[in-house]
A and B are shown apart, each in its own frame.
Chain A
Amino acid sequence: MSAIDSARKLKDQFGDLISEPAEFRAEITVQIGDAERIAEVCAFAKKDLGFDYLVDLSSVDNYGDDPRWTLVYEMYGYGHHGHLRLKTGVSEEKSELPTVTSVWKTADWHEREIYDMMGIRFRGHPDLRRILMWEGYPYFPLRKDFPLAGKPSELPEVAFSRPAPLEGGPFVTAPGGKDAIAREPRVRTPEG
C-alpha cells in the first residue's frame, strides 16, 4: 500500500476532516482540519493502515499567521514501507491539543520537547515537563519571537541576558525573503 493509498483511506474514513493529499518530493502530506481529533486519526492510521512507527513529531511556528502552530507527524509503516505526513494547525490562544502517547509510546519525549521549545501543551500527556531546558525556565526558546540572543529573566545568571555570541554577528541571516538588503546579516539587532 503506497502512501497515497493510505491518504485516500484516511480521507474515506474521516471525510472533510482530511484535506486532499499534497505531494512534494515524492512525500505525501495531508492536513487535518481539527487538531482535537488528531489522536483519533493517528489511532486509526496505526491500527488500520499499519503506521506502526512514529518517525518524528515536530512543530512549526508560523509567527504572524493564524493558526500560529503547525504540528507535523511523520509516520511510517514497517509492513508496507510507506511514509505519510500529517499536519494540523493549532491557534495561539488555544496552544493545546490531545496527546498521541497512547498510540505510540515514542511520542512521549517528542511531545515534551515541543512543549519545552514552543509551549504547546498536550492534553492527557502522562508527564508533560520540560525536557531540554530546566524546570522553571520562563520562556519557550524556539518561538520566532524569542531572540537568538536570549532574553533577560528574573534569574539573571541562569537564563542569560547578554547577547549570544552569534547575535548581530556577521554570520546571522534572516529567514525567507529575497531582498538582499533586508537579508544583509550585519543590520540585524537582537530585537529585529
Chain B
Amino acid sequence: MSTVQEVQFREPAARAAQAAETLRPVAPSPTEDLRDIQGEKMVLNMGPSHPSTHGVLRIVLEMDGEIITKASPDIGYLHRGDEKIAENMTYTQFIPYTDRLDYLAPLANNVAYALAVEKLMGIDKQLPPRCQYIRVICCELARISAHLLGIGCFAMDVGALTVFLHTFTEREKIYNLCESLTGARFTTSYTRIGGLSRDLPSGWVAQCRKFCDEAAVAVDEVDKLLTRNRIWVDRTKNVGTIPRDVAIDFGLTGPNLRGSGFEYDLRKAHPYLIYDQLQFDVPAGSVGDCYDRYLVRMEEIRQSIRILRQCLDRIPGGADNKNGEPINIPDGKTVLPPKERVMTSMEELIHQFILVTQGVNAPPGEIYFGAENPKGELGFYIHSKGGGTPNRLKIRAPSFVNLSILSWLLPGHMMSDTVAILGSIDFVMGECDR
C-alpha cells in the first residue's frame, strides 16, 4: 500500500498539496486522536450507480484525505455474454446485438459488424457505391451523436448544465433522422450482411442537410460556452494527463489517443468504405489532458459535419435514387431477395429459405476488422469453421480498453478530478461489458 507521500501528485492536486504545505500551522502539535486520523486511508466506493460513471462502473478508490492513492475499476455489471450468444446464432441474427454495444452510436456498430462479416466472406470490395455512402453517413451521424452526448455529460458532470441542454437538442434531431431512416430511434439494426435493410426515405437528404447546418451552429454555441470558460478550463486543463507513449502502451484508441497528440485514425490509416475519397482532417491534442480530449471531440464533430455534407452532395443516385442505384450486393446467397419476388419466383423462394434458416455461407478462416467508432477502434475477430454461424466472435470494445488505464491515471489526483477524467474518457458500459 502506498502512502500519499509516495504517490506522485498531479495537477492540480500538486498545487493543492503545495498550498496546504505552506499553510500548515507551525503551532501546537495535533492531539492524540487527530494524529490517529492523519495518514489513515479511506476506501471509497464510487458507483456502480453514480451519475458520473455513465452506467454501471464501480471504482474502488483508496483515499488519503482528498487525494486518490489507488484506484481499481470494477466492471462487468452489464455483462450479457454477447460473445457466447453470437456463437449460437447466424451472422445476420447478431446484428441487433451490436446495437447494444455502444448504445450511443448503434449505427456505427451496425456498420462495423457488417463490414467484419463481409471481410470474412470476401465481399467487402463489392459493396455498391450508394451503400457505402449511406454507411459513411450513418457512421458520421453516430459519431456526432456520441460526441455530443460525451461533451454534454462531461460538461454536466463538472457543473455546466446548459451545455447538456444544447447538445441534447441536437441529438434529438439525430434520433429523428434515425427514426425515419431505420424505423427505430435507438436500436437501429440498420445494416445487413452485404447491404442495408432499406434505402434512404424521400426527403431524408434535405432533412439531413438541414441538421448539418443547425448542428454547426450548435457546436459553435457549445464552443462559446466552454472553450474559454474559466471554470471549465480550470477543471480540465492539466487534469488527467496521458502522455503519448502511455496511451499507446495501454492501447487507447479514438479521441483519447488523439487527445494525447497522436494523429491516428483508422479512417485515414486504413480507409474502409469510401473514406479515402473524402476530405477531412484528423485533430490531435498536444498535452493529453481532459481539455485536449474535449477539444478533439469538438473538432471531430465539425469534421463529421464536413464529411456528411460531402456525402450528401455526392451520393450516387442522388436524394431520391430515381435511377435505382443498388444498395445491396446482387447475390441471392448473401442478401435477402425483395419480398414481392419471394412469393412469385422459385429461385428467390429458395434463397429466402436458406438465408433465413441457415444464414449466409461464410468460408472457414479468421479475420480481424477494426473500424473507427466514436469511442475508438471497435474490432471484431471472427473465427469461422464455415457456414452461417461464427465459431468464435471476439469483440474488441474500445471502452473496455480505454477504461483499463484508470488504475494508472487516477492515483495522485483529487476526488473531484475523477469526475472530469471519467467524463473526458467518454466510455459506454454496454460496450465495455458486452
Contacts and interface: CB of A to CB of B under 8 A. Distances in A.
B384 to A, nearest CB: 9
Given A60-B392, A133-B76, A175-B385, A53 B248 contact: yes
A54 B89 CA distance: 29
Interface in A72-94: 72, 74, 78, 81, 83, 85
Contacts of B401: 106, 109-110
**What 4 pairs across the A-B complex have the smallest Cβ distances?**
A106-B251, A58-B394, A132-B76, A56-B396
B249 A105 contact: yes
B316 interface: no
Given A56-B379, A105-B408, 14 more contacts: A56-B381, A58-B381, A74-B368, A81-B270, A104-B249, A106-B251, A108-B404, A131-B75, A146-B84, A166-B88, A173-B93, A175-B88, A176-B389, A183-B387
B249 A175 contact: no
8 contacts: A25-B122, A52-B249, A166-B89, A173-B88, A175-B385, A175-B389, A178-B387, A180-B358
B76 A134 contact: yes
A159 interface: no
Given A25-B365, A109-B400, A74 B381 contact: yes
Interface of A: 24-25, 27, 29, 52-56, 58, 60-61, 72, 74, 78, 81, 83, 85, 104-106, 108-110, 113, 117, 130-134, 141-142, 146, 148, 166, 171-178, 180, 183-184
B28 interface: no
B357 interface: yes
Interface string B99-138: 0000000000000000000011010000000000000000
Contact of B88 (A24, A29, A61, A148): A148
B141 to A, nearest CB: 26
Interface in B347-368: 357-359, 365-368
B119 A25 contact: yes
B85 interface: yes
Nearest to A74: B368
B87 interface: yes
Contacts of A104: 249, 251
Interface string B387-399: 1111110101000
Contact of A56 (B264, B358, B394): B394
B81 interface: yes
A173 B387 CA distance: 11
A72 B83 contact: no
B93 A176 contact: no
Contact of A27 (B79, B264, B358, B367): B367
B357 A180 contact: yes
B90 interface: yes
B266 to A, nearest CB: 10
Contacts of B365: 24-25
B88 A172 contact: yes
B84 A142 contact: yes
B383 interface: yes
Nearest to B93: A171
Contacts of B88: 148, 166, 172-175
Contacts of A105: 249-251, 404, 408
Chain B interface: which size bin? 35 or more
User: Max chain A CB contacts within 10 Å: which of B386, B391, B392, B434?
Assistant: B392
B170 interface: no
Contact of B359 (A60, A130, A173): A173
Contact of A55 (B249, B366, B370): B370
A175 B387 contact: yes
A180 B388 CA distance: 11
Given A81-B270, A108-B404, A172-B89, A25 B249 contact: no
B64 interface: no
Contacts of B404: 105-106, 108-109
B269 to A, nearest CB: 6
Contacts of A53: 248, 251
A27 B389 contact: no
Given A24-B366, A109-B404, A177-B387, A183 B358 contact: yes
A166 B392 CA distance: 18
Contacts of A166: 85, 88-89
A169 B89 CA distance: 11
Given A106-B251, A177-B387, A55 B368 contact: yes
Contacts of B388: 173
A141 B93 contact: no
B357 to A, nearest CB: 7
Nearest to A135: B74
Interface in B374-432: 377, 379, 381, 383, 385-392, 394, 396, 400-401, 403-404, 408
Nearest to B363: A24
A25 B357 contact: no
A141 B391 contact: no
B366 A61 contact: no
B376 to A, nearest CB: 11
B372 interface: no
B249 A106 contact: yes
Contacts of A117: 83
A133 B370 contact: no
Interface in B234-280: 248-251, 262, 264, 269-270
Given A56-B379, A60-B392, A131-B76, A176 B367 contact: no
A77 to B, nearest CB: 11
A106 B390 CA distance: 26
A81 to B, nearest CB: 6
B433 interface: yes
